Amino acid sequence: MLREANVMQQLDNPYIVRMIGICEAENLMLVMELAELGPLNKFLQKNKNTSVKNITELVHQVSMGMKYLEEHNFVHRDLAARNVLLVTQHYAKISDFGLSKAVAEEQNYYKAKGHGKWPVKWYAPECINYFKFSSKSDVWSFGVLMWEAFSYGQKPYKGMKGNDVMQLIESGKRMEPPVNCPTEMYDLMTTCWIYKVDERPGFAVVEPRLREYYYDIAQ
């Protein structure tokens, strides 16, 4: 928990949940700013009338927060719709930095010591195969988060076990687009799911693509 607090103390971005302080009572507590509407996936499950424009706006905000983390050499390692909290219906913030790591400048990835209880369905192949985590593996998770958002909070790879998911990905297959998902957004998801790390874009590329699409539909 102190490690999470240490990570959060160093972050200052409008799209990342702010840490207000640490409370050392009988139990250690992190005091965070309140994001009243709760997790993105739960919100969308309850609010099926949310427009594609609104979803795109929220997903774009997450990409801005992630671009900030990428620029500051932070790897989130647990990016998923459940860890995006809504302040309002038009304002999303990234939370849950329990697994986050600051990555040394000369090394752009973090190597885990082995499997913990990992959210495999959100993890890039290199995380599972080589325990390597980088901003590019966060991009893969972001693709899954986009899929969750445009499917109104459905579970990714529904009914599949971790091993089945890994086999599916290794065979070159990917999740089908959610119903009524804009083609541009599904194209971006599949770009986030490029197998080879070197060919997968970073958030510096993903964020402007989302921004352009959002501005297009917002007009």
| Domain residue extents for the chain | 35-218
The tokens describing 51, both together, are: 């427009």
* CA-wise closest residue to 56 among 144, 128, 150: 150
SS3 at position 201: coil
Architecture of domain 35-218: Orthogonal Bundle (1.10)
Over its length of 219 residues, how does the chain's per-residue pLDDT go in tens digits?
777 777 778 889 999 998 888 888 888 888 888 999 999 999 999 999 999 999 999 999 999 999 999 999 888 989 999 999 999 999 999 998 766 666 655 566 667 665 566 788 999 999 999 989 999 999 999 999 999 999 999 999 999 998 999 999 999 999 999 999 999 999 999 999 999 999 999 999 999 999 999 999 988
Catalytic annotation, residues: 78
CA–CA separation, 173 and 160 (whole Å):
14
The whole-model pTM stands at 0.92
Distances (CA, A) of 54 to 83, 154, 204: 18, 17, 22
3-state secondary structure string across 128-147: HHHCEEEHHHHHHHHHHHHH
| Residue 110 to residue 43: CA distance in whole angstroms | 32
